[in-house]
């Protein structure tokens, strides 16, 4: 498992909350972010200094 950080962003793109997540892959980390996207506008997924992706509200 690898350690990821999920950053919940507000409408201005500022970090509201950071959540650690242990996931087996980038895809699992992105799915975890999608499941968390109930509040806020987007979640950035990072693994150390590598930005894995962004999940945005549709």
Banded model confidence at residue 11, pLDDT cuts 50, 70, 90:
confident
pTM above 0.85, yes or no: yes
Phi, psi of 56 (to 5 degrees): -115, 150
On the question of pLDDT at 22 being above 80, the answer is yes
Tell me the domain boundaries of the chain.
2-56
The pLDDT assigned to 39 comes to 60
Q: What is the mean pLDDT of residues 8-29?
A: 95
SS3 53: strand
- Cα(2)–Cα(43) distance, integer angstroms: 18
Structure tokens at 47: 């693994």
């Amino acid at each position: 498992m690898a350690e990821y950080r999920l950053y919940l962003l507000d409408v201005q793109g500022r970090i509201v909350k950071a959540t650690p997540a242990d996931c087996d892959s980038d895809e699992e980390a992105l799915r975890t972010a999608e499941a968390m996207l109930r509040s806020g506008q987007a979640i950035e997924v990072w693994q150390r200094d590598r930005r894995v992706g962004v999940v945005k509200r549709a």
